Structure 1
Amino acid sequence: MLPSFLIIGKNAVHPSNERQSSTSMLVFIWDCIMEDLERDLLTFEGFYFHRKACDTGVLENLDDFELRDDDVFVVTYPKSGTIWAQQILSLIYFEEHRKRTENLESHHRVPFLEYCSRDIDFASRPSPRLFVTHLPYYLVPRGLKDKKAKIIYIYRNPKDVMCSYFHFLNTYPVYKAADTIDAFMKQFLEGKVVGNLWFDHIRGWYEHRNYFNIQFMMYEEMKKDLRSSVFKLCKFLGEDLSEETMDTVVRQATFENMKNDPLANNENALYWNFGPKLREGHFLRKGTIGDWKNQMTVEQNERFDKIFQKQMKDIPLQFIWDVNETWY
């Protein structure tokens, strides 16, 4: 949404007149969006956080966070399968979650390390402790570099990330969002969003992978073959599930089941942290592969591709851009 003072009306105050060029107006609008972002985002060590759900007191103590050898962390860039990962880990580790014998939402079982965590006593939680985070590699607890605690990094093709992010920000009042894909694409490609620049996030983790005990997982691979992906996760985590339990995990972790499951879809947490929705919609909107084709123009796609090829030329991770693509 644009700031209210850009609405032209009898009583409106605006900088435009008939002689101003459209370019000048666009620059002015962009400056206003940036001013809103500065108010609504918290910057710590050069990284953007949700101001409303985070505080510097928590962030300043992350480096000294006391780890256990069996801790498990899921790392994602926003809109890359975070809530899905919370549900999958909850189903793998908690029988009461699989059997629905305990009314506890997955985001309580697998909490964020940096968000809404001030009142959580992590030290008293039983092992293994499970966490999710959007942190860059340089802000995680330094103890993670001893390679004992395990990290799962889930990545998603950035075009779908960007489009999903755009719709999220225009559904929930997290902060004032650009009202067109093109305007948001500018924000996204400049890293003026929570999570900063997507390229920096994934490159940072990949280039420093040898410092951590880390497993990279492709979101699209998980979508195409969830059972094999859960098996791969369990192998990395050292969890041996029976065939029956594996069936239950896969069934309950499908997108449609999660979307309609109040213990998994995160709707309650979003309401309490970010307020009521600005419009009808679900946090788990589509979760599909290749939805960017319905959102981006040919010109936008070509512009994005040029940047992607330049930024990722030295990163050998595979990406899937269309639901019909295969991978090896």
Structure 2
Amino acid sequence: MLFSIRLRYVYMLGLAGYTFVNVLLMEVLPFYNLPVEKSYVLALFVVSVVLVWEGNRFIHQSVADVSRIIGPRVHPLLLAFLLSLPLTLVVVGGPALLLARYLGMPPTQLHMGMKLMLALGFRINLFLNTINAAYYLLQELRLSQVEAEQLKKISVQAQFQSLKNQVNPHFLFNNLNVLSALLFQDVNKAGEFLQQLSKVYRYVLQNQEKEVVAVAAELEFMESYAHLLRARFRDSLRIEIAVPASLRSRYTVPAALQMLLENALKHNISSRNRPLLIEVFASPDHEQLVVRNTLQPKPAVEPSTNLGLENIKRRYGFISPQPVEVERDAHRFTVRLPLLHLTP
């Protein structure tokens, strides 16, 4: 905010001096027949500018409380300006009236002097609020640019993590082993496995630049990814995906479901005796995509990359006010992702 900058008193004196010089150069005092010493005029300008400036600073510090009372119908900048008008009337007119009384001005000169001071005071107030609005908007622009850069960085990290999960040697080794075994057991199943593997890579490459993707595309990717995992874990893993067709035109962040599925596999035991169940479904109000898995913690968990849930939360935070909800009880771990609408 302009009114709280460190060198504000220097700017106050500069603005008062600038106004005083303009009044002298324009010969305003002789023109309006105001026989006032120049030192008094300068002092009056300094007092008026300081009071207008500090009064506006107090208003801007309190405008949030006022906005909560009257509601969000009026922009804070406009509200602050409207509140500054009666303030200017008091802090400029008051000192001017006291000076006029002290100098014993007759009513005609008093009336003209007050009009002149109030006109200058309201112009100074308008000038300060205009500069403050420009200062505020510039800060908002810079903040939005920083947030955009942060979102871009987070998206790149997520894309990198998603790609790394797909193309790292461990992932390739496991899937090639599965493919090799299927080639000897069932050529048709091997062909289907290879087709699903290619879909996984194609999805990652096509969507790595996007901030949001359609739920339909994300679920199709999940089906292909789940096919690979079912072939690998067999009876140790159950993945159930049941999302109504009416919600598949909504949007989510790319690879969010895959990251949650990986998170469940990373932190939980899956065996034939204790198969891990992962469910993907819609919330009752159809406003969230729910990923839930049975809680079967491993005795020793792999070190976290800190990109999983926190990454998803932060990416959602940049594009939606609705939070990502995480719940954990004795038996299940649940993550709820907001289903997004894209406005035209």
Q: Identify the TM-score tier after normalising by the shorter chain.
A: under 0.3
Q: Normalising by structure 2, what TM-score?
A: 0.21
Q: Normalising by structure 1, what TM-score?
A: 0.22
Q: Which has the higher contact order (CA 8 A, sep 6+)?
A: 1
The structure carrying a bigger helix percent of its residues is 2
